[in-house]
Structure 1
Amino acid sequence: MRLKFILIIFTAIAFFRCTLPPKVIPDEMQLKLKIIENLTISFHPTDTIFMATDFARCGNTDQETIDRFLNFDFEDEPYITIIQSKLPNSKIIYGKEMHQLFLDNEIMSDSGVFNRLDQKVIFSVFGRFLEKEKVEVIESYALNGTVNYITQVYVYENKKWSIDSNKIIDN
């Protein structure tokens, strides 16, 4: 009797899961995905990519922001899937691992780049390690809430940030 009851419950759950409407991707997420589609072409297929999103900007060091960032499940985000599909041999660093790398390399506290990020940022920052002590960061802005954006590439080397003007993309 108990087995029959459990079977009915599982059948009901399966039925309701199948009848749920498909997940709709909001306009803001569509814009993020478009930005990433365009930016992934600048990456080498085996780059190590590190990323933060607008859910937690790396320049904010208050505990609430850090906790939210460390506990956020990036695996559920569509842009992780896009990057993994376009760059299957890349290693993507995010969450606790990326936060620790920022702390270890003193990039978080030294960086004016991350501290400048504000509410206008649609997809905050992602980048790659070029070599030891050298990091490339790509930063994207939405302009006035439209689908236009500017991307700048920053290089962190010798404890200083510089803009790589050869790689600025303006769409």
Structure 2
Amino acid sequence: MAQGFAPNDGAFDAAIPDREVARLVLDLDRLITLNRQTTASRYQVHGKSLPVPETLGRAELMVLIALVQTYGPLLFGSDFDAVRERMAECGAVVLLQQVVCGDRPDRATKEVHAGGMAARLQDARPILEELCRRFPDLFLAEAWSLLARFTTRRATPDDGQDEWGNDG
């Protein structure tokens, strides 16, 4: 188990053994890959391409490990159908961003949509936030580019204004 990532939420009497985490991650990886291949076929029928790669990358595997450490085999139950579907269609990194940056659990609807993912995966939020802190370039690249759009200079230095557009 990754050091410092295991949540202590009382859901399990003991931490899931590393071998079991690995097995569950591999099973989940196979399931999501199969779902992506199926989804890619549907997209191709409509002349579109799947917005995520058919196979999971390093960042997505990190998210799967975090989810498996939090929920274990429950991830394969019907309660997590929408979560698995979301990972297949949008990717685990997008799912992480929706949980970390989405609606707070007290404001989320009962439906598991973009904002509802935060409520559904509330127990995994601390471990997902830790992934963002440790690997911001992997999980927050889109957020950095969005922030850059808001913090870039609006005026050039030779127009008589300072960097924020105020008359200098």
So what's the TM-score if we normalise by structure 2? 0.29
So what's the TM-score if we normalise by structure 1? 0.29
Tell me which protein shows more helix as a share of its residues: 2
Tell me which protein shows more strand as a share of its residues: 1
